[in-house]
Amino acid sequence: MTIAVTGATGFVGQALLDRALETGLTVKALTRRDQLPRDGVEWVSGDLESAEALRALMRGAEAVIHVAGVVNDAARFESGNVLGTLNVIEAAKAEGVQRFIHVSSLSAREPDLSAYGVSKARAEKLIMASGLEWTIVRPPGIYGPRDVDYFEMFRLARWGVMPVPPKEGRASIIHVDDLARLLLALVPGGEGVSFQTFEPDDGRKQGWSHYEFARAIGWAIGRRPWVMHLSRASLERAARADRFVRRGNARLTPDRVGYMAHPDWVVTHEARPPRSLWQPLVPTREGLKATAEWYRKERWL
């Protein structure tokens, strides 16, 4: 079986590619840069704005997993997350690819909180109206090897001080490999899977408080950091400071503050994937520890 993948060179995409090849699938993967040859992978040069490249990506595939998206650059949310998704849909329809799996975000559940959430919610509406056999996956926070977002928390834990969102907030989490397994499990589609929106997680009921998760990261690197809850106003000041220091590479953006300050990012119990199809396998504490070891091995920490 051949699947088409967008975003294959990113954090989630690389984990998906590894898992797909382990299961014997052939992958056609979109890339903006030259890649080293890899058995089982056909690299297709182009991006989400190129209709020709997207048509080539879809040609001969039996399903598409749309992972690519813009996370930090608010100026590109519309072009990357909305118009980019529309372009992928049109290419899939033009090449007769009916099965469409889309990686969205829990932020689409509360689009009023951020421009990012608005863009992901709009992309979901396009998919639902596409006429394709779709499944939407809204992951919570995703961690694991290669991740640059939660890496910030690991680095702060090593320094001994971890600023986190307001005390009342809770959030779900998922390891990138568990997410990759789910995306592949959804490929066949069928009753109870197609035309559904799923919210997967690590299986922890009621998710994690910000304090609990920060302490778990500290445990993973062998530290006991001071966990400091920040108000929304403090997060906004921190975002301005991050922008001043790191410019376009800032990880804490003003748009992110909108949903970081929201108290409930726990997945909806009824929206979890069917247990007969998929269950998380990576215990979060062990996953965090293995992730910390990866960061050390790669000299990130």
| AA identity, residue 26 | T
CA distance 287 to 208: 15
Would you say 252 and 239 are in contact if contact means Cβ atoms under 8 Å apart?
yes
- Lookup: tokens for 284: 């979060």
Q: Would you call 62 helix, strand, or coil by DSSP?
A: coil
Half-sphere exposure of 233 (CA within 13 A, CB side): 0
User: β-pairing, 226-229 with 2-6?
Assistant: unpaired
Partner residues linked to 27 by β-bridges? 3, 41
Partner residues linked to 137 by β-bridges? 103, 198
Would you say 120 and 82 are in contact if contact means Cβ atoms under 8 Å apart?
no
Would you say 157 and 225 are in contact if contact means Cβ atoms under 8 Å apart?
yes
CA distance 259 to 200: 19
Catalytic residue among 116, 143, 150, 259: 116
Would you say 65 and 4 are in contact if contact means Cβ atoms under 8 Å apart?
yes
Q: Please, is 2 exposed, middle or buried when counting C-beta atoms within 10 Å of its C-beta (0-12, 13-18, 19+)?
A: middle
Count of beta carbons in the 10 Å neighbourhood of residue 8: 25
CA distance 301 to 25: 34
Is 116 considered catalytic here?
yes
Length of the chain, in residues: 301
Query: Which residues carry out catalysis?
Result: 116
